[in-house]
Amino acid sequence: MENLYTILGLRFDPERPVSEREVARAYRREALRHHPDRNPEDVMAARERFERVFVAYETLRNAVQRKEYDTQWLQWCRMRGWRDASVAGGALSQREVGAAAPLKRQRRRQEIREALRAELDARERREWERQRRRRADFCRRLEAEIARLRPTGQKLKAPDEVQSAADAPDVRRCSATRAVAEHGAPTPTRTP
C-alpha cells in the first residue's frame, strides 16, 4: 500500500489531519513538478508519476475517501508492526515519486560516458596509427640498412654460400611489414 500523503509531499499525522487547502497546495506543487510536459526526457515515467499524484489528490481531497484511506493506512501499518504511520512507506514512495531527478542525472552520466568512450576510441585509433607508422618507418630503415650491407656481406662469404643465399626465399622484409602484408592491419579492440 502506498502512502498517498508522501506522494503529495505531506506528512500523515492521525492527531493533526491535513486540511483540504494543504492537500490542494501540495497537489499543485507536485503536479507541476511531475507533469509530462516539464519532463520531456522520459514522458512515460513522468505520466505515470503524474497519474499517481492525481490519484493521491483525488483520494485525499474527498473527506469521506480520506477517512477510509486513513483507517486502512493505520491498519496496514499496524499489521507490519510500524508504530509511526507518518513515516511508514515514506522512503519507498518518495523515491518512486522523485525518480525524475535521478533519471536526469543517470542520462547525463550516460551521455558523458559515451562522449568519453568516443574520445578514448579516437585516441586509441590515433595511437595505433602512430605506432603503425613508426613500425613501418623502422622496417624501411632496417631494410635499407640490410640492402646497404648486403654487398659487403656477400664479399665476405665463401662462393658456395653466395649461391645458397641466392636460392633462399626473399627474407628482406621486416617481420612486422610481412605480418601486415599477409594479414592486414589489426584493429584496436577495447572491452567496455
Q: Per-residue pLDDT for 172 more than 90?
A: no
**Is there a single domain that holds both residue 92 and residue 111?**
no
**Is there a single domain that holds both residue 12 and residue 85?**
yes
Residue 188 maps to a domain: no
Q: Per-residue pLDDT for 90 more than 50?
A: no
**Is there a single domain that holds both residue 26 and residue 44?**
yes
pLDDT single digits (tens) 30-79: 888 888 888 888 888 888 988 999 998 898 888 888 888 888 888 887 77
Distances (CA, A) of 4 to 49, 58, 65: 12, 10, 12
Q: What average pLDDT does the segment 82-95 reach?
A: 49
pLDDT at residue number 89: 47
Q: What is the distance between the alpha carbons of residues 127 and 107, in angstroms, rounded to a whole number?
A: 30
pLDDT at residue number 162: 52
Q: What is the distance between the alpha carbons of residues 103 and 44, in angstroms, rounded to a whole number?
A: 12
- Cell numbers 513538478 correspond to 33
Cell for 176? Answer: 612486422
Q: What is the distance between the alpha carbons of residues 53 and 59, in angstroms, rounded to a whole number?
A: 10
Q: What is the distance between the alpha carbons of residues 172 and 175, in angstroms, rounded to a whole number?
A: 9
Q: What is the distance between the alpha carbons of residues 24 and 10, in angstroms, rounded to a whole number?
A: 11
pLDDT at residue number 19: 84
Q: Grade residue 96 by pLDDT with cuts at 50, 70 and 90.
A: very low
Q: What average pLDDT does the segment 92-117 reach?
A: 71
Determine contact, residues 132/188, Cβ cutoff 8 Å.
no
Number of domains in the chain: 2
Task: Give this prediction's pTM.
Answer: 0.43
Mean pLDDT of the chain: 77
Determine contact, residues 165/153, Cβ cutoff 8 Å.
no
Residue 84 maps to which CATH number?
Answer: 1.10.287.110
Domain assignment of residue 23, given as a range: 4-98
**Is there a single domain that holds both residue 146 and residue 89?**
no
Q: How far from chain centre, in Å, is Cα 99?
A: 17
pLDDT single digits (tens) 125-165: 999 999 999 999 999 999 999 888 888 877 766 656 555 55
**Is there a single domain that holds both residue 140 and residue 125?**
yes
